[in-house]
Amino acid sequence: MKPGDRLPPLEIRITRTLIVAGAIASRDYQDVHHDPDLARQKGSPDIFMNILTTNGLVGRYVTDHFGPRAELRRVAIRLGAPNHPGDTMVLTGTVQEVDGDTATVRVVGANGLGEHVTGTVTVRVPA
């Protein structure tokens, strides 16, 4: 791994099941993550993914690339455009810096509305 290396893109279909399951798994019972009518009443066109699900998908993207020995050291993300059912999020990543067995990867997840998530992941890959 070296600065400038690109991770292959990962397409994730955003389904209603993925959104609701992620919210349940992270114990986020906010109605906008499972009830379309209440989400619309609050100004959203439909339910949308929570940040904890996005965080998990970003971590999975990086560890899947670097392999089973990869250890996440830091995940710092910011949400943008929401992930709604029926869309696809494409995760891309670029290694920004490497220090020994540790790399910092810039990650972007884009959907049909724009950038859903941006941030950096620090990952250690022991030899």
Query: What pLDDT score does 20 carry?
Result: 97
Q: Which residues of the chain have pLDDT under 50?
A: none
Distance CA 115, CA 4 (A): 21
Distance CA 45, CA 4 (A): 38
Q: Is the pTM of this model over 0.95?
A: no
The amino acid sitting at 116 is H
